[in-house]
Amino acid sequence: MSQLEDAITPHERAAAAGAARKADRPLRIAIFGFGTVGSSVARILVESKPDGLELTHVFNRGVARKRVDWAPCGVMWSEDADAVLNSGADVVVELVGGLDPAGAWVRRALENGKSVVTANKKLIAFHGVELERLAAARGGHLKYGAAVAGGIPVIPGLEQGLAGDRIERIEGILNGTCNFILSRMEAGAEYAEVLAEAQKRGYAEADPTEDVGGFDARAKLAILMRLALRVQVDPEEIIPKAITAVTAVDFSYARDLGSTIRQVARANRREGRLAATVGPMLVDRRSPLAWSQGTENMVIASGRYGGDVVFSGHGAGGHPTAVAVVSDLLALAHGSRRVEIPSSPARVGGEFEVPHFIRFLVKDRPGIVAAITGALAAEQINIRAILQKPGYPADGLPFVVTVEPCKSSALKRALEPVRAMDCMLAEPLDLQMLE
């Protein structure tokens, strides 16, 4: 090999090969997983006939029940993953999800020199760096524009449109199921009935823990942190908080404060410290995050030079996610390269210094407020307001205390003795306030 050839990177060789192949024939596409998103990807490939792409294989367990009459007769339908991975397909589109066996299939495809397009946020959150290195070493590509916010081009926007800025904070609504539930509760519905509706509509699984517990949004936040803040974090270091403790009365108090409640994923880097969290938060109605309704997603990236950039749209559903997948496929077909964004391993904490909304539910008796204010004062936390709505019985009285910006750890310490008070009927609900 000549010195000139030595200087060419695997990415450049792959791009050159892709350009040569495009002139000769389209990229052959194998879809792994023919569910809601997989069938939508196939629809776009068949109906729109994007230049340079050809659907050739579909893999699914029990594939006979998945066959459709609108697919070209030349498509090979298979339930043998090995046969498809060893076929002449150029790109594997992985839409099965989860870490296993999807991770093993993605590795096999990359080891065979194929490129991979995936919407698998958990796989990318936990193993994305390793898989990107494998793709580069074998001359392929790994693209995952659909892994965060579905059809909203957040990942391409961070990789390319904002690559020249220094992003210092990122926050967003990353889970359409939680946003559907909370925006319906904002209108007056109760959690249980809205969850049942979300399950009926297919927005939520029979076991909704991944969504309502914040784990889905946590994986997506870890990906955004690598691209925006340029840090590689273990997603399990981000402690999520479930939305299940939020009630109608919390929305009522939030309205009085000119706010609403949304599940927000947020991360920032301040004075050399990295903090990240996911959970229900009080959002000022003037914030774009408060405008997001139903299954919509939204991401706000705050740069040192460019200021705030908002990405918003339909983040869930087969068609929006399929658009992001096909966009990645078109980028491969036309020789597009990912922007190499350097990142380094980092430890993440949950220490934010922000105002808090704390809702208590008590059996009323003298001295409750004095005990709470004393516990807060012991940690040097200043009270901003105390709110108590009329009309609630003394044996089930909800009231709210808001506090000035304080460290999360200090508030946690202050609430420990309060939780132990015999008048407490439920765990105090502590929500960060985004202002």
* Three-state SS letters, 382-412: CEEEEECCCCCCCCCEEEEEEEEEEEHHHHH
- Mean pLDDT, to the nearest integer, of 306-321? 90
CB 103 within 8 A of CB 142: no
Residue 344 lies in a domain: no
DSSP state of 159: I
Annotated catalytic sites, by residue? 220
Residue 24 lies in a domain: yes
| pLDDT value of residue 338 | 67
Radius of gyration of the chain (CA): 24
Are 134 and 257 within one domain? no
Least confident of 172-176, 311-315, 331-335: 311-315
E-assigned strands of 167-245?
167-173, 231-232
Residue 330 lies in a domain: no
Are 308 and 368 within one domain? no
Q: Roughly how many angstroms between the first and final C-alpha of the chain, as a whole number?
A: 59
Are 16 and 74 within one domain? yes
Residue 345 lies in a domain: no
| pLDDT value of residue 10 | 47
Report the C-alpha gap between 30 and 14 in whole angstroms: 19
Are 138 and 158 within one domain? no
Nearest Cα to 143, choosing from 166, 164, 114, 172? 114
- Mean pLDDT, to the nearest integer, of 339-368? 94
At 14, the pLDDT band (50, 70, 90 cuts) reads: low
Structure tokens that stand for 106 in this block: 């993605």
Report the C-alpha gap between 261 and 254 in whole angstroms: 7
DSSP state of 146: T
Residue 101 dihedral angles phi and psi, to the nearest 5°: -90, 0
- How many distinct structural domains can be found in the chain? 3
At 20, the pLDDT band (50, 70, 90 cuts) reads: very low
Helix axes 176-186, 191-201, angle to 10 degrees: 140
The DSSP element (H or E) to which 28 belongs, if any, is strand 27-32
Residue 333 lies in a domain: no
Kindly report, residue by residue over 149-182, the tens digit of the pLDDT.
988 999 999 999 999 999 999 999 999 999 999 9
Are 179 and 134 within one domain? no
Residue 335 lies in a domain: no
Are 404 and 264 within one domain? no
Are 136 and 168 within one domain? no
Report the C-alpha gap between 249 and 362 in whole angstroms: 14
Q: Count Cα neighbours of 63 within 13 Å in the Cβ-side half-sphere.
A: 16
Q: Is the pLDDT of residue 306 over 50?
A: yes
| pLDDT value of residue 202 | 84
| Residue 150 DSSP SS3 | coil
* Domain's final residue, options 266, 299, 315: 315
Q: Is the pLDDT of residue 76 over 60?
A: yes
pTM above 0.95, yes or no: no
| pLDDT value of residue 2 | 46
Which residue type does 302 have?
A: S
**Domain CATH for 168:** 3.30.360.10
- What torsion do the CA atoms of 55, 56, 59, 64 make, to the nearest 10 degrees? 100
At 363, the pLDDT band (50, 70, 90 cuts) reads: very high
Are 179 and 308 within one domain? yes
Are 383 and 253 within one domain? no
Residue 337 lies in a domain: no
**Domain CATH for 374:** 3.30.70.260
E-assigned strands of 60-129?
76-78, 91-94, 115-118
Range of the domain at 394: 354-434
Q: Is the pLDDT of residue 337 over 60?
A: yes
Q: What percent of the chain has pLDDT over 90?
A: 88
| pLDDT value of residue 435 | 81
Nearest Cα to 172, choosing from 269, 284, 301, 275? 301
**Domain CATH for 119:** 3.40.50.720
| pLDDT value of residue 272 | 85
Structure tokens that stand for 408 in this block: 């999360």
Are 188 and 301 within one domain? yes
CB 50 within 8 A of CB 326: yes
Are 195 and 218 within one domain? yes
At 9, the pLDDT band (50, 70, 90 cuts) reads: low
At 388, the pLDDT band (50, 70, 90 cuts) reads: very high
Q: Is the pLDDT of residue 250 over 90?
A: yes
Report the C-alpha gap between 365 and 404 in whole angstroms: 26
Beta bridge partners of 361: 398
At 283, the pLDDT band (50, 70, 90 cuts) reads: very high
| pLDDT value of residue 4 | 43
Peptide bond into 288 cis (omega under 30): no
Are 125 and 262 within one domain? no
Nearest Cα to 155, choosing from 413, 356, 380, 341? 341
